Amino acid sequence: MSEKDIFDRLRQTCLLKIQVMQKYPWIFDFIKGAVFTDSEVVKDELVKRRKIVETSSFERFYGDIDTSRFEPPTLEELFMRHYGEKLEGKESN
């Protein structure tokens, strides 16, 4: 993504997800089925793969963000963690 502003980047990401859902609705049905499965083997493998994807995706997504809107770095870190988790559908602490 070429947008450097965090808010514009989040908007782009949401729009892309909507486009994917409209074009390939079955993908989200598949993901939902996989995430809510009772199979421990599937769950364990999904956790492993999700961690790998999240690690590489986080740097690609946030690595070149313009952070000039954030004053103390701690606010930036909190924002990135909170909204990154929200985008992934997780609860943040």
- Say yes or no to pLDDT of 92 above 80: no
Q: Are 46 and 36 in contact (CB under 8 A)?
A: no
The residue-averaged pLDDT of 5-32 equals 88
Residue 45 and residue 52: Cα distance in Å, rounded?
11
Would you call 78 helix, strand, or coil by DSSP?
helix
Whole-prediction pTM: 0.54
- Say yes or no to pLDDT of 82 above 60: yes
**Per-residue pLDDT reduced to its tens digit, 25-78:** 998 888 888 778 788 888 888 888 888 888 887 777 777 888 777 766 577 777
